[in-house]
């Protein structure tokens, strides 16, 4: 069982979903904080779901408030960086660039695909992490 968990975790690193910051979280888990990683991950998923919902609502409105979108992305990127969610962090960076240049058209085409990819990456990361929890 532990070997399976280790393999799943390694695959998350190998596929670029997680980076060395996640190892930092694991290093902080000890007898005094035995559930630290799970607690941080749970906070991250809860907070991220809220941010993604805000982003989706902002995009559905049609007229893009790039400052607001950039603010959401900034928050999402910050927490993703802190937890080691590498792919999500990268996608947030790209999104922020489009926000900065006010590229509405680009936002709707290629960034849309990136946007979908980001959400899919996020969901994949969440699902895999929950599987790791269940296995542990």
One character per residue 32-61, x = contact with another protein (rule: CB under 8 A) = xx--x--xx--xx--x--------------
C-alpha 114/C-alpha 116 separation (Å) is 5
Q: Which residues pair with 85 in a beta bridge?
A: 18
Q: Angle at the Cα of 119 (from 27 to 49), degrees rounded to 5?
A: 70
- Alpha carbons within 13 A on the beta-carbon side of 22: 19
One character per residue 69-88, x = contact with another protein (rule: CB under 8 A) = --x--xx--xx-xxx-----
Q: Which is nearer to another protein, 19 or 121 (CB)?
A: 19
Q: How many residues bind another protein (CB under 8 A)?
A: 24
The binding site for another protein (CB under 8 A) comprises: 20-21, 24-28, 30, 32-33, 36, 39-40, 43-44, 47, 71, 74-75, 78-79, 81-83
């Amino acid at each position: 069982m532990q070997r399976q968990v280790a393999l799943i975790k390694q695959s998350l690193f190998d596929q670029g979903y997680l980076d060395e910051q996640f190892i930092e979280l694991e290093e902080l888990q000890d007898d005094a904080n035995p559930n630290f990683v799970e607690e941080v991950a749970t906070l991250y998923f809860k907070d991220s779901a809220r941010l993604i919902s805000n982003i989706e609502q902002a995009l559905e409105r049609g007229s893009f408030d790039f400052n607001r979108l950039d603010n959401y992305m900034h928050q999402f990127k910050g927490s993703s960086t802190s937890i080691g969610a590498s792919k999500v962090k990268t996608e947030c960076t790209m999104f922020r660039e489009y926000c900065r240049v006010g590229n509405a058209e680009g936002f709707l085409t290629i960034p849309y695909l990136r946007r979908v990819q980001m959400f899919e990456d996020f969901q994949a990361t969440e699902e895999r992490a929950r599987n790791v929890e269940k296995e542990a």
